Structure formats: C-alpha cells, structure tokens
C-alpha cells in the first residue's frame, strides 16, 4: 500500500487537531466528581512527591483533590512512570499538564504505557509522546490507542514520525474511530483517502453534511455506504452538496438510492459535465431515442469518450444539433 506523504498528513492534522493545551486538562478538573478532601494534602503531595513548585501546586490543588487515605495509589502512578525511565523533569511537566493522571487506575495505565513500549515507543520517544500529549492516556486502549497506532504504523516509517503525528494531531484517534464506524478497514483501498477527508473537517461540519444529505432523502445507512464507496462524497462543500442534490433530486428526478449508489455524482462539475449530459439525454428521451432500461445516474458516470460515442456521435443524423447542444453552443427547446 502506498505511503501517505508525511508532510501532507501533518498539514491536515495541524488544521483541526492541534495538541490540546495544558489549560484544557486543568480546567476539566473543576467538573471532577472526586470527594472533596483537604487541598493541603494535595498540594503537599504535588510538591514533595512530584516536584512541582509551591505556587503551581497550590493552584492545581484548588481543583484537584487527592484522597489522603490512599497515598499509595498516587505514589504507584509515579513509580510506574519512573520504571519506564521518566525523569523528575518529565514528571513535573506531565503532572502540570495532566494532574488527573494521579487519579488513574494504575492497572489500566500500566497496560497503555506497556502497549506503547512493546510497540517500539521506548525511551525518549515514549517520554516525548506522553509528556507532550498526555491526552493519549485518557483514551481507551482497545477502541482508540491500538487502532490509531496501527494506522500510523501503516503509513509512517519511523517511531519518531509517529510521535510527531500524535503530537500535532491527537484527534487522529477520532479519525480512526470514525473510519471504523463506517466499516472502512485499513486494508480497504479507500482507507488512505477516508482518513484525510475525516481529518479535514470538524465533527460539527461532518454532522451538518450528514443532515444535509438526509434532507434530500438519503438514509444514514445510504450515506455511510456512499462514503465507503467514495470518501470524497463528504469532502464537497455544503454549498456544492445543496446545489447538486437540488438538481439531481428535483430536476433530474433521481432517487436518493441512485445517488448513494453512484457517490461520484457529487464530485463532478455541474457546468462541464452534468448540465451538458443532462441536455443530451433529455433531448434523446424526448425523441424516443434513449433506451428506457438505461440508468440515467449510471450514464452520468461514463467516461467522456464513451458518452460521446454512444450518446452524441451515434445520434447526429437524427439530431444534427446534438454536438452543439452538448458543447453548450446552443440550446434546443423541447
């Protein structure tokens, strides 16, 4: 399978999925459901065990409350990190960016760290990955981390590039999950196209486009099948989707199922392809020259050479102006 250009992949991820800022982790602590306990213990632990400056520890302890009755739980998190070579400096940065790591279930945290380690992300590479993007530790191992790493290993040749990709685009995890929900597998020919398409838009934009297609009668199942056949079905602008779907649905009277079967219809130029072919097929149908069993949607997907041979040149004797009509030189009133 061809490698996806590394710079292109990073460019897509940088647009929408930059590494989450440290303030996100800290602000999320305010919604923690942890039992309210003495912040002084938390501050002391952050200073004595984690090495944070006192002012930072006090600030974090106002939103993070460690259970002083379970000091070993918090200490075991630090022991796990140190067993994998994390230095005191690493721990200070990591805890400052993601204080909730101290409340992690150590057994689950261990599985995640060891999985990354066993897949070649060791030493400085592992440290850089987790410290720069601790959000990865919040993700499900089976649903997010494993499929994401499998994807990155498929297209990026080195562990250093994998770390860079995750640092620049932590929502790569989201993209792989979305592809899986569409039943697009890494072995599918469309997988390499689907991931950049998903990464090119926010989740809200994705949902708006799905709803837009639904307004024209496509079911969610039909939309997802169309995406699997042709991922660029979702890359069209909302304006183009609305314009072409209006024409196909209300002017050409195509059924939604036909559009889902031929998702390439959304990729064509209206002026250069759709309108000229519609004009030709319309005049042929009016003169009873078009075979009724032919699927109009399928005819729109034929190559230029085939369409000219079978539906323009073939009928020039019966319709002398057909070529001019096709080229847009003139119009014919039916």
- Distance of alpha carbon 121 from alpha carbon 126, whole angstroms: 5
- Distance of alpha carbon 99 from alpha carbon 130, whole angstroms: 13
Kindly report which listed range (32-46, 172-186, 228-242) carries the lowest average pLDDT score.
32-46
Distances 147 to 86, 108, 151 between C-alpha atoms, Å: 25, 17, 6
In terms of Cα–Cα distance, which of 4, 29, 25, 22 is closest to 175? 4
- Distance of alpha carbon 156 from alpha carbon 168, whole angstroms: 14
Burial class (CB in 10 A: 0-12, 13-18, 19+), 54: exposed
- Kindly report, residue by residue over 48-96, the tens digit of the pLDDT: 999 999 989 898 988 888 888 988 998 999 999 999 999 999 999 999 9
Residues 77, 82, 87: CA angle, nearest 5 degrees: 120
- Distance of alpha carbon 35 from alpha carbon 66, whole angstroms: 9
Is pLDDT of 30 > 60?
Answer: no
pTM over 0.75: no
- CB within 8 A of 212, min separation 6: which ones? 238, 241, 242, 245
Tell me the two tokens of residue 232: 């660029």
- Kindly report, residue by residue over 290-316, the tens digit of the pLDDT: 876 568 999 999 999 999 999 999 999
Tell me the two tokens of residue 213: 């297609």
More confident residue, 15 or 153: 153
Residues 211-218, mean pLDDT to the nearest whole number: 97
- Distance of alpha carbon 245 from alpha carbon 254, whole angstroms: 9
Cβ neighbours, 10 Å, residue 31: 7
- Distance of alpha carbon 42 from alpha carbon 100, whole angstroms: 12
Cα 215 off chain centre by: 23
More confident residue, 11 or 269: 269
């Amino acid at each position: 399978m061809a490698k996806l250009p590394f710079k292109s992949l990073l460019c897509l991820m940088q647009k929408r999925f930059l590494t989450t800022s440290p303030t996100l982790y800290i602000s999320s602590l305010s919604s923690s459901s942890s039992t309210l306990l003495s912040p002084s213990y938390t501050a002391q632990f952050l200073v004595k065990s984690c090495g944070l400056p006192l002012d930072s520890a006090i600030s974090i302890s106002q939103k993070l409350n460690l259970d002083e009755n379970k000091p070993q739980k918090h200490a075991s998190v630090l022991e796990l990190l140190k067993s994998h070579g994390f230095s005191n400096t690493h721990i200070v940065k990591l805890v400052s960016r993601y204080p909730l790591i101290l409340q992690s279930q150590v057994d689950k945290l261990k599985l995640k760290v060891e999985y990354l380690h066993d897949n070649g992300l060791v030493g400085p590479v592992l440290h850089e990955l987790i410290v720069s993007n601790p959000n990865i530790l919040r993700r499900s191992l089976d649903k997010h981390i494993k499929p994401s790493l499998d994807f990155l290993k498929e297209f990026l040749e080195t562990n250093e590039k994998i770390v860079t990709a995750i640092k620049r685009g932590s929502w790569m995890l989201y993209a792989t999950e979305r592809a899986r929900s569409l039943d697009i597998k890494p072995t599918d020919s469309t997988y390499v196209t689907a991931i950049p398409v998903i990464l090119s838009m926010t989740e809200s934009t994705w949902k708006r486009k799905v709803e837009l297609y639904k307004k024209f009668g496509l079911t969610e199942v039909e939309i997802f099948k169309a995406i699997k056949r042709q991922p660029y079905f979702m890359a069209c602008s909302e304006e183009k989707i609305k314009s072409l779907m209006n024409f196909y649905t209300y002017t050409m009277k195509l059924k939604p199922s036909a559009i889902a079967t031929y998702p390439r219809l959304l990729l064509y130029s209206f002026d250069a392809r759709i309108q000229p072919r519609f004009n030709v097929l319309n005049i042929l149908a009016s003169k009873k020259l078009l075979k009724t069993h032919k699927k109009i949607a399928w005819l729109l997907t034929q190559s230029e050479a085939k369409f000219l041979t079978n539906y323009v040149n073939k009928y020039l004797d019966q319709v002398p102006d057909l070529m001019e009509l096709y080229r847009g030189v003139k119009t014919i009133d039916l």
